Amino acid sequence: MVIDFNNLRINNLHSQTEFEKKATFFLEDWLSDSETMKVQTSGSTGTPKVFEIEKKKMLNSAVMTCNFLGLKEDDTALLCLPVEYISGKMMVVRSFERKMKLIVANPSLKPLENLEEEIDFCAMTPLQVENSLDKLHLIKNLIIGGASISENLKDKIFQALKLSNSQTQIFETYGMSETLSHIALKQLIPQAEEYFTAFENVSVTKDERGCLRIWAPNVNAEVLETNDLVEIKDENKFRFLGRIDNVINSGGAKIFPEELEALVKKEISNEVVFLGLNDESLGQKLILVIEGEESNDLLEKIHQIPFEKNFHKPKEIIFINEIPRTPNGKVNRTELKNIL
């Protein structure tokens, strides 16, 4: 199904699949007289919740993204994310705001398998990108969010596009449901940037804990206090270090699991998670969980990793068939810790 927002006739839309019906239902809700709509959080950092947001603020968010990427009327976008969450909803709203043509594709692990022509804009999760490397060159502007992007995947993306000679731009996103999707992007391709750049009319600072504070009046009337530890370069550039609630205190040393995970993922392609499990002598014992079958090859690669500090080396390595995830694909650390 293709929705042409430059010539929209909702009665002419023929929804065939369940996902197309969901997208059409959302569009009807969006075009209704109501000034607000319900949005559900993913539950990756706590219990999922539903809250009301103003459509006007969703439009403001759409304008910021479209302006940053230079999207324009009659461009083509691809929707392949669930419309139950803000990520999918905002793809529809951006297409509406910019009067783009929106291709509605089932949010599968291989969303590009039927794509044959170039498109101007798409948003995907890292797992979707991993399964779409052969067709990334067909997308002019790709944003990736929902979970961290491993160094291994970044390398695969670079190699795939290097062979295609494409002009594709790829960005990592930073945001949350409360900011109505992302408020900052960091370019991965063609230039690998170190810092996220916040959108126009968005400013960032740190609180006394070292966590990010966001002032984005166009999308939220309040200053948002996050649990994300950051390094601030200036009022609109920052580097994500990790979540304060994920910080592991082992023998008095503070360990950022996200940084260690990025280091390990440079060497192995498996999903990995560092956790701190209760320990009588250390307080928390550093554990490395690896998704997949145990192998001497993987263990050898782990042992050869040049960890910066001796206490960064895991005290124990556990292999697990499947790491639990939230409905939209994020690693569920709380559930994983409960399992262990």
Query: What secondary structure letter does DSSP report for 325?
Result: B
Q: Is 300 exposed, middle or buried (0-12, 13-18, 19+ CB in 10 A)?
A: exposed
- Of 319, 271, 292, the closest CA to residue 127 belongs to 271
Residue 155's pLDDT is what? 87
Kindly tell me if the per-residue pLDDT of 282 is higher than 80.
Answer: yes
**How do residues 64-93 score in pLDDT, each as one tens digit?**
999 999 999 999 999 999 998 888 999 999
Kindly tell me if the per-residue pLDDT of 215 is higher than 90.
Answer: yes
d(CA 196, CA 180): 17
Distance from the first to the final alpha carbon of the chain: 44
Kindly tell me if the per-residue pLDDT of 59 is higher than 80.
Answer: yes
- Domain architecture of the chain: domains with CATH: 2-202 (3.40.50.12780), 247-339 (3.30.300.30)
Residue 78's pLDDT is what? 97
Which stretch of 16-20, 27-31, 134-138 has the lowest confidence by average pLDDT?
16-20
Residue 177's pLDDT is what? 77
Residue 104's pLDDT is what? 93
Please name the residues in contact with 267: beta carbons below 8 A apart, sequence gap of 6 or more.
301, 302, 304, 305
Kindly tell me if the per-residue pLDDT of 290 is higher than 90.
Answer: yes
- Ramachandran bin of 198, using left for φ above 0, alpha for ψ from -120 to 50, beta for the remaining angles: beta
Q: What is the mean pLDDT of the chain?
A: 89
Query: What secondary structure letter does DSSP report for 72?
Result: -
Structure tokens at 33: 């007289």
d(CA 147, CA 127): 9
Residue 224's pLDDT is what? 92
Q: Report, as an integer, the average pLDDT of 197-209.
A: 93
Cβ–Cβ < 8 Å for 108, 125: no
Global pTM reads: 0.81
d(CA 319, CA 340): 11
Please name the residues in contact with 128: beta carbons below 8 A apart, sequence gap of 6 or more.
80, 107, 108, 109, 110, 111
- Of 87, 79, 72, the closest CA to residue 108 belongs to 79
The listed range with the strongest mean pLDDT (197-201, 246-250, 281-285) is: 197-201
- Residue 172 C-alpha from the chain's centroid: 7
Kindly tell me if the per-residue pLDDT of 293 is higher than 80.
Answer: yes
Residue 332's pLDDT is what? 87
Radius of gyration of the chain (CA): 21
**How do residues 234-274 score in pLDDT, each as one tens digit?**
888 999 988 898 888 888 888 889 889 888 988 888 889 99
Residue 178's pLDDT is what? 81
Kindly tell me if the per-residue pLDDT of 47 is higher than 70.
Answer: no
Please name the residues in contact with 105: beta carbons below 8 A apart, sequence gap of 6 or more.
78, 79, 80, 111, 112, 114, 115
Q: How confident is the model at residue 141 (pLDDT cuts 50, 70, 90)?
A: very high
CA contacts within 13 A on the Cβ side of 239: 9
Q: Which residue has the higher pLDDT, 207 or 165?
A: 207
Please name the residues in contact with 262: beta carbons below 8 A apart, sequence gap of 6 or more.
148, 150, 151
Specify the 3-state DSSP secondary structure of 221.
Answer: coil
d(CA 204, CA 182): 13
